[in-house]
Structures are given as structure tokens and as C-alpha cells.
Chains A and B, each alone.
Chain A
Amino acid sequence: MDDKDLELLRILEENSRLSTEEIATMTSLAKAEVERRIGALEATQVIKRYSTVVNWEKAGNGEVSAIIELKVSPERDFGYDRIAERLSRFRQVKSLRLITGTYDLQLIVTGKNMQDVSRFVSEHVAPMDRIRETATHIIMKSYKENGNTFFEQPETERLPISP
């Protein structure tokens, strides 16, 4: 991992649909070199996959997301890892983190609708061993995801020509 690799990662994180040719020009690398480096980053799973930031509210599919916080009794020898691993297997769990503060684990869960999310929490998550308490926060509106704001920002006016 060197500066060029980091540069490629930053470019791809911002827009993974650029052609190899464009990336090669931007980074002053040969096309084959770009391909080789990206291939290596994929092989070592530094690049997990290529995805898209979607404004689902705008897409209007009615999906509901919630932040679920859990108090968990850690296991001897394993801490939180084993229960986190179990939780991570659910398709509904989009993100899962160990956090400091009142709760231990924080999940982002999505479902078709509110009932779907609430059924998932009450039937699958809350009854799991070692989970002592849950708190569910339904997300009412998203304003920013992973550095991308969902506000339509007006173009700022600049002089058309300036010295």
C-alpha cells in the first residue's frame, strides 16, 4: 500500500464507475498499472465491493431503516465478537458497530416497512442470548449518508470570467 494505492482508493470511493483510462490519465499511471493495482486491492479485500449511494427516499420504495442499540453481556474469552458475528449474518443488518456509552452495539437495520423492522427486532434480535436491553430508533429522514448530502444545493454564482 503506497501513496498511489491510496490515491486510487480515494478516486474509486468517490466514483467507482470511472474508466481505467480516465483513472490512468488522472493519476499519471499506465493503464496496465492501474489495472494491476486495483486487482491487487480487490484480491486483498481492501476494496470490498463497488456500490452506489442511493437516495431511497427519493426512489420511493418505502423502505424503513432504524438504529438499534443493544446492551450486551460480553462472553468470557470472546467479548462482544461472537454475538456481533451472529448478528452480522442477518441480511437486515446493514451496519454493526461496537460503541462506547450506555449501549454496547449499534445496528442499522432496514426493512420493507415499520412492522417488518419491529418484527425483526422483537423476534430475532431481542431474544438472543446475552442481549439485555434494546432501544429502537426509527429513522424518519436522511440528510447525509457517508459524506453525501441529500440536499439539492443551488449552484453558486461566479463571475463568468475573472482575471
Chain B
Amino acid sequence: MRNFVSARAQEIPPSGIRKFFDLVLTMEDVISLGVGEPDFNTPWNICESGIYSIEQGVTSYTSNRGLQTLRDALSHYLAEHYRLKYSADDEMVITTGVSEALDIAIRAITDPGDEVLVAQPSYVSYAPCVTLAGGKPVPIRCTEKDHFKLNPDVLAEQVTAKTKALIINFPNNPTGGGMNESDLKAVADIIIDHDLVLISDEVYAELTYEGSHCSAATVGDLRERTITLNGFSKAYAMTGWRIGYLCAPKDLCDAALKIHQYVMLCAPVMGQVAALEALRSAEEDKNSMVNEYRLRRNLFVAGLNRIGLPCHVPEGAFYAFPSIEKTGLSDVEFAERLLKEQKVAVVPGSVFGAGGEGHVRCAYAVSRKGLAGALERMDTFLQSL
């Protein structure tokens, strides 16, 4: 029998966290700092709207773009919170999570052979999605020295005649790094000079702890070449509802919409109704969750530094990314031994690509008590080395 698996599917590596996942499942009493989602439940008013919509028989397809009411509310929200001006009618698509938005954005712009720059360490999907679209992912290393910001010089070095686009994600998973307006201005010129598309995944925008989030499309003349991705998962603790969105100038948006219409048709309607409720009435719930993450960040990062794992202060998201180089272990060894010996799950930084090695990702979307327990165990582990 032939090998039926396509060359492309063979080419993409299996997810690096799978092994840990399986190991954790066999163990009891694990404190997991490995979870990339909020530990809060979705605020009840949002859930209730979703439930009520089902009771009312709102269970059909929506338009490909998504519910008009949701897009109108979103357009208004983005303008008010981020100074982003996107038309609800032809510059916006509601997607099944940001994951789908990312996929259709990449497919909308990538031709075979195109190089797509990926600022790393990054969320694990970016490079494989580029590969699946026929493009070639090119990592751009963001380092601790630069506070995990995208360094314009490093970026410029990697641009070639084949470079089509750049994917960034700030506040960043896994580093917690952020880019403010002047940081973005510094890379905007390179993007424009080389005529690149910018895909900016801003799903952690609401989880910005110092100052306010600067959306890439508001910087200089970037808007006309930027695809902004965002969603409801992180800010409103709505991961399981799978609602994200893509905003872009009409031509780019139309291309993404075409793909969305063939592969997804529309995002689940009950999720869209719930997302609308989130925009209408969950501002306070969101703020109190964000505030709690900030307090936990301060506690946890101080704790890491105290026990001897140097960690820069993450500006956003809910991840700390301490260096474990001093232990002499590789990040994979560190994570494996910490899990087996002290039952704390963290994710090795190398899973997230270039620049991640020598670090581990610790999600602090965990109760303060859980974080304190994890720090204690990590301290014991470090002292045993």
C-alpha cells in the first residue's frame, strides 16, 4: 500500500507538548502551569445569553461574515478601545477562534515558495500553518536581552526577495513580551519598505498590564497592509466557545472570507450571540479577571526570581518565561524532571521555536494558592539539583 499521507502533512512536526500531556495524564496531584487558557469560568451573563439563544431556537447558520449585530458591536468596540477603524460590513469576519482566523489569513496571502517571517518564540501554530499553505516559515528570534520584543535589525537581516509577510503576536505567548507604539514604529518602516503583509495576532491585547495595548494597524501607514486577529477566548474566559475575528482592508478581508466560506461556512451561532453579550455587558468581569492576573503575575514573577529562576516581567498575557540556563539542564530535561520529581507541569521553551530554548513557559492562569504551591515545589526541585 502507498503512504497516503501527503508530503506536506508529513513535513509538519507533531506538537512538542503532546509527550508532556500524556505524561501528566498518568499522574495525580500535579500542579499544572501548562495550561494556555483562563482558569475562570465564562462570566454567567455571557453563558446565559448563549443558553437563551439555544432555547429560542437560534441554532442555524449565520452569514459567512458572522452576525451583523456582533460585527457592528465589534466595530464600535475596536474603535473605542484601540482606535482601530474597521467597517462591520466589509472589513471583518467572525471566525471559529483565532486559530481559524490565523489559518485563513495565512492562506489568503501565501503562494507556494513565499517566505513568511514568524517572530519567535511563538504560539505553536504559526509555522505549521505557513507550511500547510505552501509557504516557508522563517523564524525571527526575539531574545530576553530585547525583553522579547521584535528587534528591527534582526528582522531586516531575514528579509529576502521572497519574503511575503510577517506574523507577530504581542502581548506574546509564551514570553509575555509586549510591543508599544514606538517599538512597532521601529519595525513598521522595514515592513513597508519591503512591501510585506503584517499578520498581527492580538488575542492577548486585553491582558496588558503596563499602559494600554497598541494595535499594530494604528501605527503609521501599517493599516493598509495589516491583518488584525483577535478573539474572545482569553479576555472573557471563553476558550471553548471558539469565537475569534479577522479584520483587514477589504481586498485582504474578501480573500480570507472566501476561504472561510468554503472551509468553515460560519462560526457557531450560539458562540456569536454569547460574544455579543460579552461586548455589551462583561466589561467589569473582564477588568476584574485582568486585575487578578496582574496581581498573580507580580506574585509569581517575584517568586521565580526569589527561588533563583531569573524572569523578566511579562508585560501582558498570562505567561512567565523564566530562564533555566543556570540549572545546566536543557529546557526539555528541566520540564521532564520537574514534572516527575515535583509534579509541576511547565512547557519547555523550545516547543515555541527559536529563542525559546533555555526557558520554560509557566502559565499563571492558576489560583494564587496553586502558584504558591508550585513555587514551593520548584524551589525544592532546584535545591535538589
Spot the interface stretch: A19-27, A32-40, A123-131: A19-27
- The residues of A that contact B345 with a CB separation of less than 8 Å are 160-161
Answer whether A163 and B298 are a contact pair too, CB < 8 Å, given A156-B41, A158-B35: no
Task: Please state if A25 and B35 are interface contacts (CB–CB under 8 Å).
Answer: no
- B30 close to A (CB within 8 Å): yes
- A94 close to B (CB within 8 Å): no
Task: Please state if A22 and B299 are interface contacts (CB–CB under 8 Å).
Answer: yes
- A162 close to B (CB within 8 Å): yes
Answer whether A160 and B34 are a contact pair too, CB < 8 Å, given A10-B291, A26-B295, A27-B295: yes
Q: How far is it, in angstroms, between the C-alpha of A156 and the C-alpha of B21 when the chains are bound?
A: 18
Q: How far is it, in angstroms, between the C-alpha of A10 and the C-alpha of B287 when the chains are bound?
A: 12
Q: Which of A140-163 contact B (CB under 8 A)?
A: 156, 158-163
Mark contacts of A1-30 with chain B using CB atoms, 8 A cut-off: 1 yes-contact digit, 0 otherwise: 000000100110000000000100111100
Task: Please state if A160 and B35 are interface contacts (CB–CB under 8 Å).
Answer: yes
Task: Please state if A163 and B36 are interface contacts (CB–CB under 8 Å).
Answer: yes
Task: Please state if A160 and B30 are interface contacts (CB–CB under 8 Å).
Answer: yes
- B266 close to A (CB within 8 Å): no
Q: Which of A44-87 contact B (CB under 8 A)?
A: none
Task: Please state if B302 and A160 are interface contacts (CB–CB under 8 Å).
Answer: no
Q: Which of A77-107 contact B (CB under 8 A)?
A: none
- The residues of B that contact A156 with a CB separation of less than 8 Å are 41
Task: Please state if B123 and A163 are interface contacts (CB–CB under 8 Å).
Answer: yes
- B124 close to A (CB within 8 Å): yes
Task: Please state if A25 and B30 are interface contacts (CB–CB under 8 Å).
Answer: no
- The residues of A that contact B24 with a CB separation of less than 8 Å are 160-161
Task: Please state if A159 and B21 are interface contacts (CB–CB under 8 Å).
Answer: yes
Task: Please state if A161 and B347 are interface contacts (CB–CB under 8 Å).
Answer: yes
Mark contacts of B132-152 with chain A using CB atoms, 8 A cut-off: 1 yes-contact digit, 0 otherwise: 000000000000000000000
Q: Which residue of the partner chain B has the closest CB to A15?
A: B368
Answer whether A161 and B35 are a contact pair too, CB < 8 Å, given A10-B291, A156-B41: yes
Q: Which of B5-45 contact A (CB under 8 A)?
A: 15, 17, 20-21, 24-25, 30, 32, 34-37, 39, 41
Q: How far is it, in angstroms, between the C-alpha of A116 and the C-alpha of B35 when the chains are bound?
A: 52
Task: Please state if A25 and B20 are interface contacts (CB–CB under 8 Å).
Answer: no
Task: Among A7, A27, A28, A162, point to the contact of B34 (Cβ < 8 A).
Answer: A162
Task: Please state if A11 and B21 are interface contacts (CB–CB under 8 Å).
Answer: no
- The residues of B that contact A160 with a CB separation of less than 8 Å are 21, 24-25, 30, 32, 34-35, 345
- B63 close to A (CB within 8 Å): no
Q: How far is it, in angstroms, between the C-alpha of A10 and the C-alpha of B294 when the chains are bound?
A: 13
- B125 close to A (CB within 8 Å): yes
Q: How far is it, in angstroms, between the C-alpha of A18 and the C-alpha of B354 when the chains are bound?
A: 40
With both chains docked as a complex, state the minimum distance between the C-beta of A153 and any C-beta of chain B, in angstroms: 8
Q: How far is it, in angstroms, between the C-alpha of A144 and the C-alpha of B37 when the chains are bound?
A: 27
Task: Please state if A25 and B37 are interface contacts (CB–CB under 8 Å).
Answer: no
Task: Please state if A163 and B295 are interface contacts (CB–CB under 8 Å).
Answer: no
Q: How far is it, in angstroms, between the C-alpha of A11 and the C-alpha of B298 when the chains are bound?
A: 13
With both chains docked as a complex, state the minimum distance between the C-beta of B28 and any C-beta of chain A, in angstroms: 11
- The residues of A that contact B298 with a CB separation of less than 8 Å are 25-28
Q: Which residue of the partner chain A has the closest CB to B16?
A: A163
Q: How far is it, in angstroms, between the C-alpha of A11 and the C-alpha of B291 when the chains are bound?
A: 10
Query: Which of the listed residues B41, B291, B298 has the most CB atoms from chain A within 10 Å of its own CB?
Result: B298
Q: Which residue of the partner chain A has the closest CB to B124?
A: A163
- The residues of A that contact B299 with a CB separation of less than 8 Å are 22, 25-26
Q: How far is it, in angstroms, between the C-alpha of A158 and the C-alpha of B30 when the chains are bound?
A: 13
List B residues at the A interface (Cβ < 8 Å).
15, 17, 20-21, 24-25, 30, 32, 34-37, 39, 41, 123-125, 173, 291, 295-296, 298-299, 302, 345, 347, 351
| New A-B pairs, 6, CB < 8 Å, besides A160-B35, A162-B36, A163-B36 | A27-B298, A160-B21, A161-B17, A161-B24, A162-B37, A163-B347
- When A and B form their complex, which 6 residue pairs have the shortest distance between CB atoms, in order from nearest? A161-B34, A160-B24, A26-B295, A163-B124, A162-B36, A161-B21
